[in-house]
Amino acid sequence: MVDKKNRFSLESRRYIGCKTKLVDWMFGLISEHTHDIHSFCDIFAGTGVVAHRALQQYERVVVNDFLYSNNIMYRAFFAPTEWDEERVQSIIHEFNDIAPSKLRENYFSKNFGGKYFHQDTAKIVGYVRERLKEMQPTLTDKEYAVLMASLIYSIDRHANTMGHFDAYHHKAPVAHPFQMRMVEAESFPGVEIHQQDANQLARTVNVDLTYLDPPYNSRQYSRFYHVYENLVQWKKPPLYGTALKPKEENMSDYCRNAAFSTFTDLMSHIHSRYLVVSYNNTYHSKSSSSENKIKLEQLEEVLSKCGETKVFNHEFKAFNSGKTEFDDHREYLFITEVDNEKRNRSFPAVLRG
Ligand SMILES: C[S@@+](CC[C@H](N)C(=O)[O-])C[C@H]1O[C@@H](n2cnc3c(N)ncnc32)[C@H](O)[C@@H]1O
């Protein structure tokens, strides 16, 4: 018998900018201010909590993020492909019986042990990851993804960090028994999972509504979650600096000075009747890395070129690493009904080429 209790919900992951607490508010506004929606695209999906809600109400949902560790979550939590739940559960039981004292040091423990994770935990994680690589040819994609997602969710709360991997706490990580638990994997026949640059994907997807929640400051998600990117890819690259990051990969133009032109390019290429955009005003902050790359006025201007736009806001306590002060922190939701003629007139042809 498979025990379904004690599973990790999709929402239980720590992720900067995750919309878990705002999903009800957002979907209330979307239902009120849009009509005839059958297909939905979450093009910067992060944890996937917004796509998860959309999957419960729309027939077709496209979910995309360019990070490997996010893509594996969508395959685990949403993909409709075959899997044997009992088999996955018994593999997890087997992993939970491992005694760290019996294991040799490995890539994960040598690099991250005593820093991001307790040495014993890091040893088991490296061992389990190696076993998953060996087992992969005998597992379905869903089984493999559920095991990988379960490994990440099981260690996430024990990481010796503020919730991301830009740094670890100076004090040594606390010892705890390794207990891997399964994620709450579901199966949605209408899901389409992508791992692409948003601006490339926008050129090929056609849906009724596209939801956009890009990063707005210079903090790169691939650098914040490099430990999970490394674990999922398992290419064992050399690591640099005290934060033990690999060479740069998947660096987003939304975190650079090109953010506004990249966003404008995206707006001019999306095929959707509605554009729904999240925005938050970290702009008044003291630390320059959390200053917004796209200003509220710029966003309003570009959306007004796409069609009639309504804006809503909500007070929200955002992630705060301690350096930033938010006066009047607000979360905005823009809902634009696209008027293609107006949009084609507003954007230079060169952008749409
Ligand atoms: C603010 S987070 C989204 C959070 C998400 N709405 C949630 O609730 O979890 C922005 C996401 O965009 C992704 N991203 C950044 N630049 C991207 C790009 N050019 N193409 C695709 N994804 C990108 C990041 O990996 C990150 O997960």
Q: Is 195 in contact with 71 (CB distance < 8 Å)?
A: yes
pLDDT, mean of each 10-residue run, the chain (353 residues): 84 94 97 98 98 98 98 98 97 96 97 95 97 98 98 92 88 88 98 98 98 95 97 98 96 96 96 97 60 93 97 72 56 96 84 65
Q: Does the Cβ of 221 fall within 6 Å of ligand 1?
A: yes
Specify if 216 maps to a domain: yes
Q: Does the Cβ of 331 fall within 6 Å of ligand 1?
A: no
Q: Does the Cβ of 17 fall within 6 Å of ligand 1?
A: yes
Q: Which helix (H) or strand (E) holds 24?
A: helix 23-33
Q: Is 157 in contact with 187 (CB distance < 8 Å)?
A: no
The residue among 278, 290, 285, 321 whose CA lies nearest residue 217 is 290
Write the CB contacts of 202 (distance below 8 Å, at least 6 apart in sequence): 43, 210, 266, 269, 270, 271
* Other Cβ atoms closer than 10 A to 242: 8
Instruction: Tell me how far CA of residue 170 lies from CA of 26, 111, 222, in angstroms.
Output: 38, 16, 23
Specify if 14 maps to a domain: yes
Q: Does the Cβ of 217 fall within 6 Å of ligand 1?
A: no
Write the CB contacts of 102 (distance below 8 Å, at least 6 apart in sequence): none
- Domain around 196: 10-352
Spatial distance between the Cα atoms of 73 and 216, rounded to a whole number of angstroms: 23
Q: Does the Cβ of 252 fall within 6 Å of ligand 1?
A: yes
Specify if 94 maps to a domain: yes
Instruction: Tell me how far CA of residue 241 lies from CA of 68, 152, 289, in angstroms.
Output: 22, 23, 19
Q: What's the confidence (pLDDT) of residue 326?
A: 47
Specify if 159 maps to a domain: yes
Q: What's the confidence (pLDDT) of residue 1?
A: 61
Q: What's the confidence (pLDDT) of residue 283?
A: 47
For ligand 1, atom 17, name the residue with the nearest CA.
252
Q: Does the Cβ of 197 fall within 6 Å of ligand 1?
A: yes
110: which 2 tokens? 């040598």
DSSP string, 73-108: HHHHHT------HHHHHHHHHHHHT--GGGSPP-HH
HSE of 324 in the Cβ direction (CA atoms, 13 Å)? 20
Residue to substitute in 16, 19, 44 for testing ligand 1 pocket (most ligand atoms within 8 angstroms of CB): 44
**Structural domain count, the chain:** 1
Task: Specify which residues 311 forms β-bridges with.
Answer: 334
Adjacency order of strands within the sheet including 271-280: 191-194, 60-64, 39-42, 206-212, 271-280, 330-338, 307-315
Specify if 3 maps to a domain: no
Write the CB contacts of 217 (distance below 8 Å, at least 6 apart in sequence): 255, 282, 289, 290, 291, 292, 293
The residue among 251, 270, 249 whose CA lies nearest residue 259 is 251
If you measure from the C-alpha of residue 54 to the centroid of ligand 1, how many angstroms do you get, rounded to a whole number? 17
Q: What's the confidence (pLDDT) of residue 287?
A: 64
For ligand 1, atom 14, name the residue with the nearest CA.
44
Specify if 49 maps to a domain: yes
pTM of the model: 0.94
For ligand 1, atom 19, name the residue with the nearest CA.
197
Q: Is 45 in contact with 7 (CB distance < 8 Å)?
A: no
If you measure from the C-alpha of residue 236 to the centroid of ligand 1, how many angstroms do you get, rounded to a whole number? 24
CATH no. for residue 69? Answer: 3.40.50.150
Spatial distance between the Cα atoms of 198 and 201, rounded to a whole number of angstroms: 5
If you measure from the C-alpha of residue 252 to the centroid of ligand 1, how many angstroms do you get, rounded to a whole number? 9
Specify if 1 maps to a domain: no
Q: What is the CA radius of gyration of the chain?
A: 21
Specify if 28 maps to a domain: yes
Spatial distance between the Cα atoms of 106 and 189, rounded to a whole number of angstroms: 39
Q: What's the confidence (pLDDT) of residue 123?
A: 97
Q: Does the Cβ of 65 fall within 6 Å of ligand 1?
A: yes
Q: Does the Cβ of 212 fall within 6 Å of ligand 1?
A: no
The residue among 23, 135, 144, 6 whose CA lies nearest residue 79 is 144
* Total count of residues recorded for the chain: 353
Could you identify the atom of ligand 1 that is nearest to the CA of residue 15? 9
Could you identify the atom of ligand 1 that is nearest to the CA of residue 214? 10
What residue type is assigned to position 276 of the chain? Answer: V
Provide the sign of the torsion angle of the four alpha carbons 137, 143, 149, 154, taken in this order. Answer: negative
Task: Specify which residues 191 forms β-bridges with.
Answer: 61
Residue to substitute in 165, 221, 232 for testing ligand 1 pocket (most ligand atoms within 8 angstroms of CB): 221
For ligand 1, atom 3, name the residue with the nearest CA.
46
Residue to substitute in 61, 64, 66, 156 for testing ligand 1 pocket (most ligand atoms within 8 angstroms of CB): 66
What residue type is assigned to position 126 of the chain? Answer: G
If you measure from the C-alpha of residue 237 to the centroid of ligand 1, how many angstroms do you get, rounded to a whole number? 24
Q: Does the Cβ of 216 fall within 6 Å of ligand 1?
A: no
